[in-house]
Structure formats: C-alpha cells, structure tokens
Chains A and B, each alone.
Chain A
C-alpha cells in the first residue's frame, strides 16, 4: 500500500525520461520565446510621413507616468507646431505599465516587443529622442 504510489511515481518519471518530445526547454539565444500580442517592451516613437516623431510634447505621458520616468522639454516651430526639444525615458526606473502609450493623444509613444535590452552603463539606459526614433536600437 505504501509501495504502490512510489512505483507509480517511478513509472511517471521514467516515462518523462524516455520521451524526448516531452522536453519543454527553449534553447534561448538560438530560439526565442514568442511574446504575447499585448507584450510591453522597450519604448519607441511612431514616425510621421517625414520620418520625424509624431510627438507634440503635450506632457500627458510625463504627467501620467507613475514612476516619473519621462522628462520633456517642449519647443515651438515657426509655424506654431510644438515638438519635443528633449525627450528622455529612464529605463532603469520604468515599470512598463504602458500608461504613456494609452494616454498619448497622437499615438506617438509606443511600447514595442523587444525585451532584450542590455548595456554596460546605466547612462545607456536613458533613451533620448534620437534613440526612440532609431529602430535599430530599440527594435520595436
């Protein structure tokens, strides 16, 4: 009575051991795991037709951000359109909640699908406007 469950357990583990198709490991650097469609990764700027940022520096994302990650310095073009002179995202503090993406009236700031963002220096984790438009860097 005591022995039977033990033998059952041994049978189960032997089955797992002998079945090579039961392995669920993903060989990471060669094969990457598919992230969910709603995945929130590294931020990037959506571009307009001129390849510039759609951002108008309204400051809503700065206001909504729960961890005070975003710093915006607005400026105005001669025609009266506003644009961000400086736009900084501090990724070391970001919690990837996606509020900035939700609140943006111009759909300018987006959270991409990239979850591999490694640097040697902390200062490299502060993304500026050019970084957010550089899709080779942020890999949206």
Chain B
C-alpha cells in the first residue's frame, strides 16, 4: 500500500512537471514553426534560439496588472481559468505514456491511473475543460467575450458527439475502455489507424474543433471577436488560459497516439520515447495546419459538425460493426 502511494505520488509529480514544461515550450515551438512557415525566424532573442522565451513570457505575465472588470461575475471570472487549466492537466492521469519498467524488483506501470474507464474519464474531463472557456467568456461582461463563450458552447456540443463517435470504432476493435488495454491490443504493428483510417481523420478534425484551434478557433477569432472569450483577462489568468489550451493540445495528441497510433509501441527505442515522438508529430501537424488553413465561417463549422462529421462517424461505426460481424 505504502509503495503504491509513493509510486503514484512520484509519478504524478514527474508527469506534472514534465508536462507543464512541455506546455511552456510548445508556445515557443508554435511560434518557431509558424515563423518558419511564414518565412520568418520566430523568437530568437531571449537565450540561444529563443530557448528562454517561455520563461520570459511567464515572468512578464506574472508582473502584469491583474484587472477584474467591475461589472463582471467575479467568482466565476476568477474560477474560469482555473477550470480550464486544471481539467486539462487532470486528463494526463489516464494516458499511458510508456510500457512498464522494473525498479527495485517492482513492476511499475508508466501510467498514473490505470483506470478501467479511462476513455470515458478522458471525454468527461475534456468537456469540463470547455466550461472554462464558456464561463470565462460569459462572466467577463463583455460582448466579445460573451459571443466567444456562446460560440465555444455551440462548438463544444456539436463536436463532442463526433469526437466520441469517432473513437467508438477503436473501442469496438479493442473491446475495452481501458487505455492500457487499448494500447496493448495494438502491439506488433496492429495500429488502429490501419483498421480505422477514416475514424483517425475524423478524430483529428474533431480534436481541432474541441481544443479551439485554427481552422476552428471560433471562440477566440481574433479578426472578428478581438480575442473572444479571454478578452478581459490579463496577467496570470490570461496565461492560465494559455497553459490550459496548450495542455489540452498535447492531451489531444497523446490520446490520438494512444487510440490510433499504437501508443508506446515501436522498435529499438524505449517506449516513452516512442510515445513522445508520435505525440509531438501530431502536435506538429496541428501547428503546421494552423499555418496553412484559414478559419472556417461559423455556420460552415456548424454544418460540418452536424451534417458531415456526425453522419460519417455513425456510418464508420456501422461499417466497422458489419465487418467485425462478417469477419467473425
């Protein structure tokens, strides 16, 4: 029992620290990647290759004045960024980031919580993270913030369904909601992306909408909403929203790796390295497409969600079930 507690605490601290570090450096990576895509250089003044830029940004945000609008709903206004960031960080608990290792004669699974309902937990908390955006936009007594929050709510509802449905095929194949079992079922190159390629594409599209990134960044559309839901936020609250956003981005990529790309499986390299390589490849794709695609119009996004993705994911489930029954 004691060993279990110590093991979990150590794993939590390590994962939490490394994860936050990744989130901080994702901001730099995004700026660098977008810079090079737009034939610029990106930040390169703070430290070599701009490596200290995230630290400088964080310090700067800490020292900024904290403004709470007078007519805002103050409790919700303060809670919103906390919801956004904490829910995104909670998600990391069920992601298996490596095979088990043996330390001091004990077998240690490289996952914080080996939950039987891991996937369900993921979807539940991923939806809760969106409440941060909705509440933040709503409580700040600003018309742009309100519009951003409204859009976030609408988008959340319409893409959550397709996101969940795109994962059902994987659940059907592996027969489990436990993420460790799902990864283990993909051993030996039987990655789910081979059996569910369309579901993988749908998952990526829905995930982009879920984490409010371009081309689906409706809640914070700069050109029409002037930053949207986080318009009234300043100082650390603003950067909490940012950390939450990047944490969510990484989680979504990690889930895609777990469900479709065989998780930690891969030859020669240690399992954790494989997991990180796959995750960051997907993260890179997210940033790459951000530098490529323009934002969709609002009604188009809704149309894509309800009229295209929902029927197609349902059809995908149907075909998967049919093939499974016929192949049996």
Contacts and interface: CB of A to CB of B under 8 A. Distances in A.
Interface of A: 6, 9-10, 12-14, 16-17, 20, 22-25, 27
Interface in B31-59: 33, 36-41
A13 B37 contact: yes
Nearest to A21: B39
A22 B41 CA distance: 10
A13 B39 contact: no
Nearest to B32: A17
Contact of B37 (A6, A17, A24): A17
A10 B36 contact: no
A contact face: mostly helix, strand, loop, or mixed: helix
B293 A17 contact: no
Interface in B270-306: 288-289, 291-293
Interface centre among B39, B288, B291 (most CB of A within 10 A): B39
A6 B39 contact: no
A17 B36 contact: yes
A8 to B, nearest CB: 10
Contact of A6 (B33, B38, B293): B293
11 contacts: A10-B288, A10-B289, A10-B292, A13-B288, A17-B291, A23-B39, A23-B40, A23-B41, A25-B39, A25-B41, A27-B41
Contacts of B40: 23-25
Contacts of B38: 16
A9 B36 contact: no
A59 B24 CA distance: 62
Interface residues of B, number: 12
A22 B39 contact: yes
B76 to A, nearest CB: 39
B288 A14 contact: yes
B289 A17 contact: no
Nearest to A15: B37
A23 B38 CA distance: 8
A14 B36 CA distance: 9
Contact of B33 (A10, A17, A20, A23): A17
Contact of B36 (A6, A16, A27): A16
A136 to B, nearest CB: 29
B285 to A, nearest CB: 9
Interface string B6-50: 000000000000000000000000000100111111000000000
Contacts of B292: 6, 9-10, 12-13
Contacts of A24: 39-40
A81 B211 CA distance: 77
Contacts of A20: 36
Given A12-B292, A13-B288, 18 more contacts: A6-B292, A6-B293, A9-B293, A10-B288, A10-B289, A13-B291, A16-B36, A17-B33, A17-B37, A20-B36, A23-B39, A23-B41, A24-B39, A24-B40, A25-B39, A25-B40, A25-B41, A27-B41
Q: Which 5 A-B pairs give the minimum distances between C-beta atoms? A: A13-B292, A9-B292, A13-B37, A25-B41, A17-B36
A16 B292 CA distance: 11
Interface in B292-326: 292-293
B53 to A, nearest CB: 16
Nearest to A6: B293
Contacts of A22: 39
A16 B37 contact: yes
A22 to B, nearest CB: 5
Contacts of B36: 16-17, 20, 23
B8 to A, nearest CB: 40
Nearest to A8: B292
A16 B36 CA distance: 7
Contacts of B39: 16, 22-25
B310 to A, nearest CB: 18
Interface in B60-87: none
A22 B39 CA distance: 6
Contacts of B288: 10, 13-14, 17
